[in-house]
């Protein structure tokens, strides 16, 4: 990562002996107790292969003592059974060592006594210098330099999906593992702050962040035409399942997390027999607590007769449903309606935008603003299933019935999504996922009035174009999460898919 800040110089890279790059204590895989390879002639000591790979998008080198590994170059070597092998990482110019995965762990030299052939991965990430704040207002907002960590999963088949976190620092990583006749199952990896992972089977789902724990909106596929049943599952901060909600029929559904906990869904909903035809669009709220996810209120019919185009919840817990307003306000109209606690309609249907021309596939993303209200972003799929465009078009006060143009600092930053950072002291503008795009993503930190405090670049590699990227994620605990591009996370020789997420814990807490 590289921080860019107008009018400032970039500090020099930290020395490899600093705590961010090295640790005085060894971290190793220890004895495995596994069998190994015999000497080629059938006699003498057994030898085992230690294989090192490099990741993280920045230059670095790993050498072994005794000699054998000098990676890049010689990334695998044989060592005698029971010998002590020390692997030493050395970051290159502009890089820091971010830790080991595989047979090694931690952030220092790795000492191994091989009892089997082992593999380990050394992560080198671009340095994260802390820029000079352009003003006193930025001093507490800049990202805290922290070592990068990494979580990887290997799948026999399937795809990498979304990530989320909660206010305690727990992370969740979702990937699908199988699809049979359209029915997909998924696997959920839970990573508490201590860095261990557990797995839970889930249906194909949308993963939503919560102040404590997180929610999955699960929706099966392959059950015929709409409506389809969906339900919500709640997990506590340790990743333990708390229980599911009742099933609800849905079509054209949007889901948005409540910043205070729970979620709201909007679309054509039916809380009764999900096989019955659905009525007009409606909205419903779910709670999330020790008893699991529960239908809290609704479905409540919308005043609009049109399809839902977007949904957002502000920091006051007020939900804004955006819909097609043509039936009431004429062609090219987009309307909206506010809902409060318990599903009470705070307004009727009101005109949000006129003379609106949608694309082939257009929807709205809504982001909470500090103090209340929402910023509204237009999203378009330009090439179906691949490339999205994002432009900030409106902002609206909490409970207001008239939208305004967004502030200039938002309109000048297309291709981003907005998150409240530093416990409400500022904003983070994060790169959205794109196709055929440069491999560098960014997080720009802003004051509440839109003053830029600098931006951090997260480079999957120094140059070139990536086939696809995913949205950068900022969790309630201030952790920044980046999914490695699929073309930089290749399948293994046996054909297994690898899903790798890099993360920087509490960088914007």
Q: How far apart are the C-alpha atoms of 156 and 497, rounded to whole Å?
A: 6
Q: Is residue 260 part of a domain?
A: no
Contacts of 259 (CB under 8 A, 6+ apart): 211, 313, 314, 315, 317, 368, 420
* pLDDT value of residue 225: 44
Q: How far apart are the C-alpha atoms of 258 and 247, rounded to whole Å?
A: 20
Answer with the one of 406, 429, 451 that is the final residue of a domain. Answer: 406
pLDDT digits 0-9 by tens, 219-248: 654 333 445 678 888 988 887 888 888 878
Contacts of 466 (CB under 8 A, 6+ apart): 436, 437, 438, 439, 460, 485, 487, 488
* pLDDT value of residue 376: 98
pLDDT digits 0-9 by tens, 53-112: 998 778 999 999 999 999 999 999 999 988 899 999 999 988 888 777 767 766 678 888
**What average pLDDT does the structure give for the chain?**
80
Q: What are phi and psi of 14, to 5 degrees?
A: -65, 150
- Contact assessment for residue 97 and residue 68, using Cβ atoms and an 8 Å cutoff: no
Domain count of the fold of the chain = 2
Q: How far apart are the C-alpha atoms of 101 and 54, rounded to whole Å?
A: 10
Q: Is residue 132 part of a domain?
A: no
Dump the DSSP string for 60-118. Answer: EEEEEESS--EETTB-EEEEETT--EEEEEEE-TTEEEEEEEET--SSS-EEE--SS-E
256 cis-preceded (ω within 30 degrees of 0): no
Q: How far apart are the C-alpha atoms of 140 and 82, rounded to whole Å?
A: 50
pLDDT digits 0-9 by tens, 376-409: 999 998 765 556 789 999 999 999 999 999 999 9
Q: How far apart are the C-alpha atoms of 431 and 411, rounded to whole Å?
A: 14
pLDDT digits 0-9 by tens, 179-198: 555 555 667 888 887 655 55
* pLDDT value of residue 370: 97
Dump the DSSP string for 200-246. Answer: EEEESEEEEEBSSSEEEEE----S-SSPEEEEEEEE-TT--EEEEPP
Q: Token pair of 476, please?
A: 């309630």
Q: Is residue 46 part of a domain?
A: yes
Q: Is residue 51 part of a domain?
A: yes
Of the candidate ranges 135-139, 164-168, 255-259, the one whose mean pLDDT is the lowest: 135-139
Q: Is residue 26 part of a domain?
A: yes
Answer with the one of 80, 106, 126 that is the final residue of a domain. Answer: 126
* pLDDT value of residue 244: 86
- pTM, whole model, 2 decimals? 0.74
Q: Is residue 473 part of a domain?
A: no
- Contact assessment for residue 96 and residue 13, using Cβ atoms and an 8 Å cutoff: yes
Q: Token pair of 289, please?
A: 């607590």
Q: Token pair of 311, please?
A: 């949904």
- Contact assessment for residue 333 and residue 326, using Cβ atoms and an 8 Å cutoff: yes
Q: Is residue 160 part of a domain?
A: no
Answer with the one of 126, 154, 172 that is the final residue of a domain. Answer: 126
Which structural domain range is residue 318 located in?
309-406
* pLDDT value of residue 196: 57
Q: Is residue 330 part of a domain?
A: yes
């Amino acid at each position: 990562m590289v921080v860019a800040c107008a009018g400032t110089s970039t500090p020099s890279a930290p020395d490899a002996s600093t705590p961010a790059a090295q640790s005085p204590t060894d971290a190793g895989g220890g004895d495995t107790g596994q069998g190994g390879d015999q000497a080629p002639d059938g006699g003498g000591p057994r030898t085992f292969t230690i294989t090192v790979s490099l990741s993280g998008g920045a230059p670095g080198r790993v050498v072994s003592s005794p000699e054998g590994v000098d990676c890049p170059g010689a990334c695998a070597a044989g060592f005698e059974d029971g010998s002590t092998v020390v692997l030493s990482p050395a970051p290159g110019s502009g890089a820091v060592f971010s830790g080991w995965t595989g047979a090694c762990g931690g952030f220092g030299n790795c000492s191994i006594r091989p009892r089997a052939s082992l593999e380990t991965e050394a992560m080198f990430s671009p340095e994260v210098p802390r820029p000079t704040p352009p003003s006193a207002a930025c001093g507490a907002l800049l990202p805290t330099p922290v070592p990068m960590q990494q979580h990887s999963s290997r799948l026999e088949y399937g795809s990498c999906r979304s990530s989320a976190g909660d206010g305690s620092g727990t992370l969740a990583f979702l990937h699908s593992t199988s699809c049979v006749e359209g029915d997909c199952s998924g696997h959920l990896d839970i990573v508490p702050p201590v860095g261990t992972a557990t797995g839970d089977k889930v249906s194909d789902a949308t993963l939503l962040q919560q102040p404590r724990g997180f929610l999955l909106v699960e929706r099966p596929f392959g059950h015929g035409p709409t409506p389809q049943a969906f339900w919500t599952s709640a997990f506590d901060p340790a990743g333990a399942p708390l229980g599911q909600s009742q099933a609800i029929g849905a079509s054209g559904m949007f889901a948005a997390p409540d910043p205070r906990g729970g979620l709201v869904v909007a679309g054509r909903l039916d809380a009764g027999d999900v096989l019955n035809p659905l009525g007009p669009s409606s909205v419903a709220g779910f709670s999330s607590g020790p008893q699991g996810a529960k239908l809290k209120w609704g479905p409540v019919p919308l005043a609009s007769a049109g399809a839902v185009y977007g949904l957002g919840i502000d920091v006051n817990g007020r939900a804004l449903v955006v819909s097609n307003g043509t039936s009431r306000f004429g062609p090219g109209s987009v309307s909206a309606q506010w809902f409060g606690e318990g599903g009470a309609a705070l307004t009727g249907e009101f005109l949000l935008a006129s003379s609106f021309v949608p694309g082939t596939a257009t929807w709205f993303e809504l982001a909470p603003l500090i103090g209340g209200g929402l910023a509204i972003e237009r999203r378009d799929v330009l090439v179906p299933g691949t490339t999205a465009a994002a432009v900030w078009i409106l902002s609206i006060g909490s409970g207001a019935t008239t939208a305004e143009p967004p502030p200039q600092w938002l309109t000048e930053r297309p291709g981003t999504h907005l998150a409240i950072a530093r416990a409400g002291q500022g904003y983070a503008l994060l790169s959205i996922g794109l196709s055929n795009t440069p491999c560098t993503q960014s997080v720009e930190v802003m004051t509440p009035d839109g003053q830029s405090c600098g931006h951090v670049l997260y480079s999957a590699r120094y140059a070139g174009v990536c086939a696809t990227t995913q949205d950068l994620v900022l969790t309630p605990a201030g952790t920044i999460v980046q999914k490695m591009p699929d073309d930089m996370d290749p399948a293994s020789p046996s054909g297994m898919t690898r899903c790798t997420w890099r993360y920087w814990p509490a960088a914007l807490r």
